[in-house]
Amino acid sequence: MSFILNALKKAENKSFEGGSVKIKKQVLVLRQQSRKNKLKYLFLLTLCLGILSIGWWLGQMQNNQLDDAATLVTTQVLANNEVVQHDDNVFFLEKKIQGDHSKKVGATRATEALDDGLLEIKNRNSEDEINPPIPVRTVEKAVFTESIPDNQKQPGLKNVGEPLQNYLDLPFSIKQQLPPLQISLHFYNSNPGRRIIRINGKILHEKDSVENGLIVQEIKSTTAVFNYNGYLFELNAPGG
């Protein structure tokens, strides 16, 4: 009887051990499957991270290229603007230099003309101190009251005693008989001896001869009266 019980116990033990071995095998299989699944998930996660990293890197490369291109375009635009600005500055500087040079030349010429006029006035004053000038009005009366022979009168010109005619109103045939007249300096003073005028580049006073029988009869405030072989006409001064 004890033998039978021992045999049953052994059989139970063997069946229990066999069941535990099966369970252990199943547990091992499940563990292996879970490890495989973990590896799969880990691989998929690593792959996704790699793809995301590659995409981020490509995006950064593209952004850097765009930034470089934008920087290059901006640099070229700034360089072109600097070149244009430099050309404009050079152009305006040249214009300013030319304008300053023209102003200096004009001022120098005006100063020279004024110096010549003042020197001529000074010389004239020194001469007047020795030989006082004859009053102009007395001479004018003598001229206006003087009768001119008919054979010395020139047709078309105004005689002394008649209303003065402006140079611009003279007929063309009369202007052809006169030398060219260009007044570049006109200085009027209450003292007739200090009145000067520059005609065709020549400094003259009242009663001085211009050329070819043309005489400066009188220098007025805005005009100059000329005597051409006994005939009078007037010419406006610059700004008159």
Query: Model confidence over 135-188: pLDDT tens digits?
Result: 444 333 333 334 444 444 444 444 445 678 888 888 787 788 888 888 999 999
How are beta strands 223-228 and 231-236 bridged, if at all?
antiparallel
| Predicted local confidence at residue 144, as pLDDT | 36
Is the predicted pLDDT of residue 14 greater than 80, yes or no? no
Spatial strand order of the sheet with 209-211 comes to 165-166, 231-236, 223-228, 214-219, 209-211
The confidence band for 234, taking pLDDT boundaries of 50, 70 and 90, is very high
Cα(187)–Cα(5) distance, integer angstroms:
163
Q: Per-residue pLDDT tens for 16-72? A: 666 677 787 888 888 888 888 888 889 999 999 999 999 898 988 888 888 888 888
Is this prediction's pTM over 0.85?
A: no
Q: How many CB atoms lie within 10 A of CB 139?
A: 16
